[in-house]
């Protein structure tokens, strides 16, 4: 302005004259840049520009777009199944699966033992193809896994034993029906005809009843008899006592409240066949039934007695000592399952994973050794095989999967176990189950 002095110009600036604002300055401010920083970078190597709307949309769009994922996409571990199972079943039912005897130390130690496993992998090996299969008692299995016996399975989900057996058949692994099953020997054979079916036997005080079970299993095409020997009496399972668990579950005030909170489970329980032990009939006091019906006088001589009636393989389950294993192998058993019954019988019992190496060394080729207890992943299975087991029994994990999502849940579990097992073999630089050995695995001391 003509005639304006330098002093007046300075005064106008001091009173807050507005500076000129450009779109470039706005853009730089939006991304936290100053003119000084921009000028510095424009003279160096980094040059910036204002992004187009389509470019911004590529980054922002996925945030607001609905993702289409499968039902099981976020279920990756047995712990995930466990969490779902807890939400979908009454507390008394979940606790029956989750619980164990007394302080539950045996159960927890069996799981924790796998945390001490140390793998020593090979490298620079061609692992583009891996054979996860093995042979179990002379028959091919797609994975060195056996689904072990569990009682009351239809209490966990209406699909029950048949759902688990069908999933096992699709996965190419054996399934074991329990004496305390809620599906009959014959019905399971009809509903899972292609599955390698095993039958688990508790010897009854009435030997005629046990003989009947053995004959029915043979007539129905079961291949293996699993003689469980660690239940002379029922273990002290405190959770079941606290929850007032009966079988079938009775509608006391406490249990009814828990069941009403799980409407899907309750609807299935009320609209499907009433729960009962298919082999032993109805019972309210489950532990009392065990103490009344099961024979605490079972001995090595009973292996010979069973052999006289059964032409298939015999596996003795519940072994926790080397001297017992040697006696059982000498008595003619085809397999020995190193097991503390999932911690549900004797608390503070031996940990199966710690016993397997010595038993495998001592028994040699006389009988196959199986690990039963603590397995929660395919990597656990690989560790068990490397320590000398022929296969690993899996039970609680498939019950969690069944409670979480029925038969589809068990299918998903078998896929996870297979994928985890194959991935572990590849990371170990091994291409066959037969190549797993103690050279690649060790157990950290406690």
Q: Is the C-alpha dihedral spanning 337, 369, 386, 128 positive or negative?
A: negative
| Whole-angstrom distance, CA of residue 203 vs CA of residue 316 | 12
Q: Is there a contact between 376 and 78 (Cβ–Cβ < 8 Å)?
A: yes
Answer yes or no: 67 catalytic. no
Who's near 73: CB < 8 A, 6+ residues apart?
Answer: none
Neighbours of 44 (CB within 10 A): 7
Q: Which residues of 45-74 are buried (b: 16+ CB within 10 A; e: fewer)?
A: eeeeeeeeeeeeeeeeeeeeeeeeeeebee
Q: How many Å apart are CA 182 and CA 278, to the nearest integer?
A: 5
What is the β-pairing status of strands 368-372 and 335-339?
A: parallel
3 state SS for 30-43: HCCCCHHHHHHHHC
Q: How many residues does the chain have?
A: 446
Query: Helix 263-271 to helix 253-260 angle, to the nearest 10 degrees?
Result: 110
Residue 310: Cβ-neighbour burial (10 angstroms; 0-12, 13-18, 19+): buried
3-state SS assignment for residue 332: coil
**Rounded to whole angstroms, what are the CA distances from 58 to 32, 55, 66?**
21, 5, 15
Q: Which of 341, 408, 412, 418 is catalytic?
A: 341
Bond before 226 cis per omega within 30 degrees: no
Q: Are 124 and 428 in contact (CB under 8 A)?
A: no
Handedness of CA 234, 238, 240, 241 (dihedral sign): positive
H/E element, 81:
helix 78-88
3-state helix, strand, coil in the chain (%, to 5): 50, 10, 40
Q: Choose among 180, 99, 176: nearest CA to 394.
A: 176
| CA Rg value for the chain | 31
Within 10 Å of residue 389's Cβ, how many Cβ atoms? Answer: 27
Q: Which helix (H) or strand (E) holds 225?
A: strand 224-228
Which residues are catalytic, by number? 341
């Amino acid at each position: 302005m003509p005639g304006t002095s330098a002093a007046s110009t300075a005064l106008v600036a001091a009173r807050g004259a507005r500076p000129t604002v450009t779109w470039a300055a706005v853009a730089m401010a939006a991304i936290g840049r100053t003119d000084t920083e921009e000028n510095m970078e424009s003279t160096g190597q980094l040059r910036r520009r204002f992004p187009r709307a389509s470019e911004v949309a590529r980054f922002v769009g996925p945030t607001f777009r609905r993702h289409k994922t499968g039902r099981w996409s976020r279920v990756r571990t047995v712990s995930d199944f466990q969490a779902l199972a807890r939400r979908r079943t009454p507390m008394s039912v979940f606790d029956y699966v989750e619980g164990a005897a007394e302080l539950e130390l045996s159960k927890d130690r069996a799981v924790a033992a796998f945390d001490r496993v140390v793998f020593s992998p090979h490298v620079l090996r061609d692992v583009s193809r891996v054979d996860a299969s093995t042979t179990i008692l002379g028959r091919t299995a797609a994975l060195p896994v056996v689904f072990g016996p569990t009682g009351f399975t239809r209490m966990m989900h209406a699909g029950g034993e048949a759902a688990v057996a069908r999933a096992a058949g699709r996965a190419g692994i054996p399934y074991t029906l329990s004496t305390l099953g809620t599906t009959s020997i014959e019905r399971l054979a009809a509903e899972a005809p292609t599955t390698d079916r095993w039958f688990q036997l508790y010897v009854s005080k009435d030997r005629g009843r046990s003989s009947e079970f053995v004959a029915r299993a043979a007539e129905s095409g079961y291949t293996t008899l699993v003689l469980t020997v660690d239940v002379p009496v029922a273990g002290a399972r405190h959770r079941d006592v606290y929850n007032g668990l009966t079988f079938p579950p009775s509608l006391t005030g406490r249990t009814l409240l828990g069941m009403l909170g799980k409407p899907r489970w309750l609807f299935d329980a009320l609209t499907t066949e009433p729960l009962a032990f298919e082999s032993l009939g109805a019972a309210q006091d489950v532990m009392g039934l065990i103490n009344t019906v099961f024979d605490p006088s079972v001995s090595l001589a009973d292996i010979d007695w069973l052999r006289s009636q059964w032409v298939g393989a015999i596996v003795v389950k519940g072994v926790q000592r080397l001297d017992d294993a040697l006696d059982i192998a000498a008595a003619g058993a085809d397999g020995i399952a190193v097991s503390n019954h999932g911690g549900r019988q004797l608390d503070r019992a031996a940990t199966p994973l710690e016993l397997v190496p010595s038993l495998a060394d001592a028994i040699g080729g006389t009988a196959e050794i199986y690990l039963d207890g603590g397995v929660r992943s395919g990597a656990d299975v690989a560790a068990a095989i490397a320590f000398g087991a022929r296969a690993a029994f899996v039970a609680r994990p498939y019950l969690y999967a069944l409670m979480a999502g029925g038969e589809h849940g068990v299918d998903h579990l078998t896929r996870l176990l297979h994928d985890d097992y194959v991935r572990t073999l590849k990371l170990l630089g091994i291409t066959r189950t037969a190549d797993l050995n103690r050279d690649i695995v060790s157990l950290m001391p406690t």
